Amino acid sequence: MDRRTFFRKAAVTGAGAAAATALAAPAIAQANPKISWRLTSSFPKSLDTIYGGAEDISKHVAAATDGNFTIQPFAAAEIVPAMQAADAVSNATVEMCHTCSYYFVGKDPTFAIGTAIPFGLNARLNNAWFYQGNGNKLMNEFYATQKIYGLPAGNTGAQMGGWFRKEINTVDDFKGVKMRIAGIAGRVLEKLGAVPQQIAGGDIYPALEKGTIDAAEWVGPYDDYKLGFYKVAKYYYYPAFWEGGPVIHAFVNLDKWNSLPPAYQAALTDACAFANTNMMAKYDTKNPTAIKQIVSQGTTLRPFSQDILEACYNASLEVYKEISAKNEWFKKIYEDQVAFKKEAYLWMQLSEYTYDTFMMIQQRNGKL
């Protein structure tokens, strides 16, 4: 090949490559469009644990998409109040929120199953039911009726049973107690004579301080210590039988979810899964220190008695029967979760329970 022929062919090849590059650029841009969303949280920024889940989602989505898909989180009340987050997503005021599904039981009691119901699943079993059982499938069939797509995006683990101004020694001690409590648990305690109140996390302290309420549950030692509840209520009860492993959700406007490129849907799904795992890890790391700090402030720890737990368990079954008789969505999803729970706890008795019980005995005996 002479010199002139070589350069002529090289020019043609170069032009073809340039044309191919020019054609590829729009295709890449279409596959990775610039998208900016807003996320409203139901939690205050002061709680790096539970609010931090929204920040985890934002960071991981941006990193996975080279900054082409960005989600800006806003704390509760910066865009809408905490208890209006799901409505803001449904009506497309924002594309997304980070919240607890059970905050919206006033719209439909089925929302409660998405977070936690009394004597439901612990954190590990909730993950199993949502990811490998029918949890995500069934809950998203329901959420679709609300123009929402849901992704598990956090868990606190089993929570504490709340702060009380007076001791709760018997079932009758609940009578007349005005208690901040979320989800279906309020209906259960109402059967015992309590007066449930739905109050956002940031409003609990002043309500307790002023005596507007007599008791309140929030999450657990780390968050409760940061919010200062030990200053306004002496007795700290456990466990929160209504929150054995509550799921925090990322809700996405259904139309916005469906319009996302598949790669962005995958990035968001993976980011939420990370937030789910990381939040639980944070609580497991921070709660042991926080419970010691709370006790050092003069707080009295108290377990709910066996009689109280039994009464609440029976009241819960009554509530589920009442709701199921009127609500097909609740009945369908609740029965699926109960069937899963029966099998799961059969295995857990042999594995986790036996092992953990032995190790806890060693801890109490000072052998760890």
The pLDDT tens digits for 148-191 are 999 999 999 999 999 999 999 999 999 999 999 988 999 999 99
> Is 49 among the domain residues?
yes
Binding residues for substrate: 159, 180, 217, 243
The pLDDT, as a whole number, for residue 278 is 98
Work out whether the CA dihedral 140, 142, 145, 146 comes out positive or negative: negative
Is it the case that residue 129 has pLDDT exceeding 60? yes
Mean pLDDT of the chain: 93
pLDDT tens by residue, 313-362 = 999 999 999 999 999 999 999 999 999 999 999 999 998 899 999 999 99
Q: How far from 89 is each of 38, 95, 201, 263, CA to CA, in Å?
A: 10, 6, 20, 22
pLDDT tens by residue, 56-91 = 999 999 999 999 999 999 999 999 999 999 999 999
Is it the case that residue 26 has pLDDT exceeding 90? no
What does the alpha-carbon distance between residue 111 and residue 108 come to, in Å, rounded to a whole number?
Answer: 6
> Is 268 among the domain residues?
yes
The pLDDT, as a whole number, for residue 19 is 43
The pLDDT, as a whole number, for residue 10 is 45
> Is 193 among the domain residues?
no
Asked if 50 contacts 248 with a C-beta cutoff of 8 angstroms, the reply is yes
Of 258, 267, 278, nearest in space to 66 by CA = 267
Is it the case that residue 11 has pLDDT exceeding 50? no
Is it the case that residue 192 has pLDDT exceeding 60? yes
Q: Which residues pair with 163 in a beta bridge?
A: 216, 236
Asked if 42 contacts 60 with a C-beta cutoff of 8 angstroms, the reply is no
Mean pLDDT (whole number) for 92-118: 97
pLDDT tens by residue, 261-310 = 999 999 999 999 999 999 999 999 999 999 999 999 999 999 999 999 99
Work out whether the CA dihedral 97, 103, 107, 108 comes out positive or negative: positive
User: Which amino acid, one-letter code, is at 345?
Assistant: Y
Mean pLDDT (whole number) for 205-228: 96
pLDDT tens by residue, 241-259 = 999 999 999 999 999 999 9
Q: How far from 97 is each of 38, 64, 242, 339, CA to CA, in Å?
A: 8, 20, 23, 30
The pLDDT, as a whole number, for residue 200 is 87
Q: Are strands 178-180 and 215-216 parallel, antiparallel or unpaired?
A: parallel
Work out whether the CA dihedral 155, 160, 162, 168 comes out positive or negative: positive
The pLDDT, as a whole number, for residue 3 is 45
Q: Are strands 247-253 and 96-99 parallel, antiparallel or unpaired?
A: antiparallel
What does the alpha-carbon distance between residue 330 and residue 141 come to, in Å, rounded to a whole number?
Answer: 12
The pLDDT, as a whole number, for residue 335 is 98
> Is 263 among the domain residues?
yes
> Is 205 among the domain residues?
no
Q: What is the DSSP letter of 71?
A: E
> Is 187 among the domain residues?
no
What does the alpha-carbon distance between residue 99 and residue 114 come to, in Å, rounded to a whole number?
Answer: 11
In terms of pLDDT, which residue wins out, 354 or 19? 354
Binding residues for Na(+): 218
Is it the case that residue 25 has pLDDT exceeding 90? no
What does the alpha-carbon distance between residue 318 and residue 314 come to, in Å, rounded to a whole number?
Answer: 6
> Is 175 among the domain residues?
no
- CATH label of the domain that carries residue 99: 3.40.190.170
Domain membership of residue 122 as a residue range: 35-156+245-285
Distant-in-sequence, close-in-space partners of 294: CB < 8 Å, separation ≥ 6: 221, 224, 225, 230, 236
Mean pLDDT (whole number) for 22-51: 83
Instruction: Tell the burial category of 357 from Cβ atoms under 10 Å away from its Cβ (0-12, 13-18, 19+).
Output: exposed
Domain count, the chain: 1
> Is 81 among the domain residues?
yes
Binding residues: 159, 180, 217-218, 243
Is it the case that residue 22 has pLDDT exceeding 50? no
What does the alpha-carbon distance between residue 317 and residue 307 come to, in Å, rounded to a whole number?
Answer: 16
What does the alpha-carbon distance between residue 108 and residue 87 come to, in Å, rounded to a whole number?
Answer: 13
